[in-house]
Amino acid sequence: MEDRAPVEPPHPAQDVTEHVGYRLKRSAAALRGAMDRELREHGLTVPQYACLELLDERPGLSNAELARAAFVTRQSMNVVLRGLQDAGLITRPTTSDHGRALPAHLTPEGRDRLDGARRAVYAVESRMIAAVPPERLAALLTDLDRMASALGG
């Protein structure tokens, strides 16, 4: 067996749990779990909630636009949209005037469901950011944006 030179970590770390990527993933998993629990009470999944939020801000987005903004595949977003449409929370035309894009819009029931779910999700986010000293929150957000940009995101 050949001797291998050790690979140095990008910053001092005793083990994988001390790496930035691991901690980001741990935080994201904790957030997703907390959101899942809260949204279940509103009959929504995290991707469905994200879709409703996006359509509230930008009505008429297409499947592809929603997929990009919600960080899911177009195929997954198509399933999300069908579920929301079957539940009466969004509307989409059956045919499109231009290309294949079918713009989606919230229904009044969709807006009501979003309002309740939004309160629950904002409570989760409030619990999460309460752990960060207020004077450090803006810097944390800036740093997270810089890290995403550094990786092309």
SS3 26: helix
Amino acid at 131: A
Classify residue 59: in a domain, yes or no: yes
pLDDT tens-digit series, residues 90-139: 999 887 666 667 899 999 999 999 999 999 999 999 999 999 999 999 99
* Total domains, the chain: 1
User: How far apart are the C-alpha atoms of 28 and 50, rounded to whole Å?
Assistant: 15
Domain that holds residue 132: 16-150
Classify residue 117: in a domain, yes or no: yes
Query: Which residues lie closer than 8 Å to 46 by C-beta, 6 or more apart?
Result: 32, 35, 36, 39
Classify residue 10: in a domain, yes or no: no
Classify residue 71: in a domain, yes or no: yes
Q: Nearest Cα to 102, choosing from 117, 116, 85?
A: 85
Q: What is the pTM of this model?
A: 0.86
Classify residue 30: in a domain, yes or no: yes
Give the model's pLDDT for residue 1.
59
Classify residue 24: in a domain, yes or no: yes
CATH code for position 136: 1.10.10.10
